[in-house]
Structure 1
Amino acid sequence: MDDLNVTYITFAGHVELQSYRSLYFIIMFIVYVSIIFGNLTIFCLVCIHKSLHEPMYIFIAALLLNSLLFSTNIYPKLLIDFLSDQQIISLSLCHLQSFIYYTLCGAEFFLLSAMAYDRYVSICKPLQYASIMKKSTVCVLLVLAWLLPAGQLVPSLFLISNLRICHFSLKGIFCNNGISKLYCMNSETTYVVYGVLIIVTTIFVPMIFILFTYSKILLVSYRSSVNVRRKAAQTCSPHLLVLISFSCLCSYDIVIARLQIDLHKTARFIMTLQVVLYHPLFNPIIYGVKVKKISELLKRLFIYIRICYKTNVG
């Protein structure tokens, strides 16, 4: 659909929107507010409390900020579409949403890699930890976590810049890899090879690195005292849970969105919602419950809020 030289894409992935638009909006609005509250609360705790100004907690804060940005890239447009008569987006904004979406997905894996490296140095090389995990090292790892995925995605913008649009309907409720199917491609070889390269460098290489570091941690912990094993379990288990959760959701995007498997519309809609709903809510819960220092600070915060509330009511 073209209007004054602006190309618009229609989202065709919504199910029974006319009947359930209000319900969809209320549920997703509550979820989005919960995501903002959960991620922002722990992020602010890390920023405010000096006891949390350590590499591990800084990486956790960066991961939660990444989840917040990820949700903000999707939810506002999604909420608008639930209440609109037409679920459309301009092609340029669709490319921007897709670019941010995959940049933040890639950043998630790189941040988890940085966290794995931090735990590896802390447990396997404790005497060298202070000299290796300096502020400058942490800053470099954080910058690279966002810049590397973004840099890898830039060539995709040039690959499709000269292609012509053949379809104006996107199977989905937001812009992802399915956008490539809108273009007239005589041969998708270059794009497929490029996509595989991105998947390998952004997902599989970080995952191999993470699994390697955690296997080394497991080996060292097994040979060490009970206290070392307990420390390894307490600090590594949240990261592994987050990694498993995010990897499962990314596999959906790769298998369904990338390969365009013929999935029932309702099943596709439910699975797509899981990608944007489950993981951003999962992160703050895991780190708020499993990480001892953060858990204790959260308890103190909630006690303080409850005392203030009772005082004001009384």
Structure 2
Amino acid sequence: MINEVLLEVKSLKKYFPIKKGIFSKTVAHVKAVDGVDFYVKNGETLGLVGESGCGKSTTGRVILRLLEATEGTVIFQGKDIMTLGKEELQEMRRNMQIIFQDPYASLNPRMTVGDIIGEALDIHGVAKGRKREEKILELLNEVGLRPQHIRRYPHEFSGGQRQRIGIARALALYPRFIVCDEPVSALDVSIQAQIINLMEELQEKFGLTYLFIAHDLSVVKHISDRVAVMYLGKIVELADKDELYESPLHPYTCALLSAIPIPDPELKRQRILLEGDVPSPVDPPRGCRFHTRCREARDICREKDPEFKDVGDGHFVACHLR
């Protein structure tokens, strides 16, 4: 069912310890993800956007348990992933995969394309021998690559072709949910469009669900059904994509959207320039984390952390003034 919740994230936190001294004593923590809540419906794409260092990629990796959470729960198909043992987690990963950001660093240069894609088939015992090769050739065809590419190595391909290999690897077990960790940010603009179109075609064909992590809001608008905006480890706004882009409520979202270029030289958008730097996630500001850069900040913003609340029609925002 398209409307059923496939993934639910509750109070997710990921703190990285900072150690010093001879005995490596923990003196502080980097609060990369600090209390995140959202859900993803079956068959939809949830975009997750924000500045570099806000915790987007860490959120995706913690959901898949590539990084262990400090606190929180992740419910996938009715099971709490954080409580699963090694064997249960491996079985669960047949339905949860990831497409990495860097198509150059994410592929093993010593493995052929066939072995890279076939590795998941081997680990999960899906196919062997001739059936394994047929499966790999089928996956290559699905992502727009040729049969002869099966014997080649990653260095023989362009960036766009390498990302197609990464997509084929993620698709190998035909999962239900894929974390797309900035999958087009390292590619040329013309290639970005091709990869986005491919991902949309695969989503429709195989009923995939995406968590699409990016910093380019124009790309996110094209592929997403709903969009979540993240700042300094917290989600500050979440809404249907049209609602968010047409009627943003959080001052940070407004500033991000004002930076999107308009493809018309006669029109100019009123830019909202943020002053100051992003605070350190080691010692985030008291109250609303955005108040140090917000033109509308009031006393309550400096004292109290705003509640992440539904203001109507599934539009969530964490702001005292909304």
- Give the TM-score normalised by structure 1: 0.24
The structure richer in strand per residue is 2
Greater helix share, structure number: 1
